[in-house]
Structure 1
């Protein structure tokens, strides 16, 4: 390795050549351009400290080619995972069932941690379908008080 011309000028000169070589080999211009940029960044970080390699163009083509292959493989693996997940989702049964969950809802509304009036009010609201005003009239309290009681119980 020798430290000849300035690294920055050399990279600027070699970038189009490396991009052309990769695009000719692999065809995907945008992916090749990204890989070349990553190789140029690696060279800009490594060459000033370790010196410019004997064949800088070959070094850049090799590094950019490896980065491109890694990206292609990662994209293919991601696509396979997504297709597998989609196939598994398609086989799952629809979560909507004809099972009636009213009893479960009743037990939730009557949880022992809630005070009795809150249990009753919440049950009448959630299970019985009564409006807050109707429940408040039954309890002989203002509607705002009942709304607050139901809200706290939730």
Structure 2
């Protein structure tokens, strides 16, 4: 049971290095345990939300499956991608796993853009209205 605890602490990978480490571990004979864990993590709600249990938002935002559009290539981690697609096929059997993954990643990216637009910048100041000439300044 200790091995599963270690696997659970591996998710979600935060950096590309974490992703590489998981990819290497998935090459061993116990990789089916990682796939089972991914299935468990992905079953927690809609795939567009639960994908963040398997990959951090930073990884989703900086990667795509093929590496196009100046993003990093998720397929550079073949063992991870294979296990993830197998898990998605079990969780979302109604559509091809690659399509389901791409759709889920797109939803995370869209949600991230929406959050950025609705959240004011930390250094943004409140807009001030200039005093018109002749208006006394209020002091508190």
Question: What TM-score comes out, normalization by structure 1 length?
Answer: 0.26
Q: Greater helix percent: which structure?
A: 1
Question: What TM-score comes out, normalization by structure 2 length?
Answer: 0.28
Whose RCO is larger (CA < 8 A, sep 6+)? 2
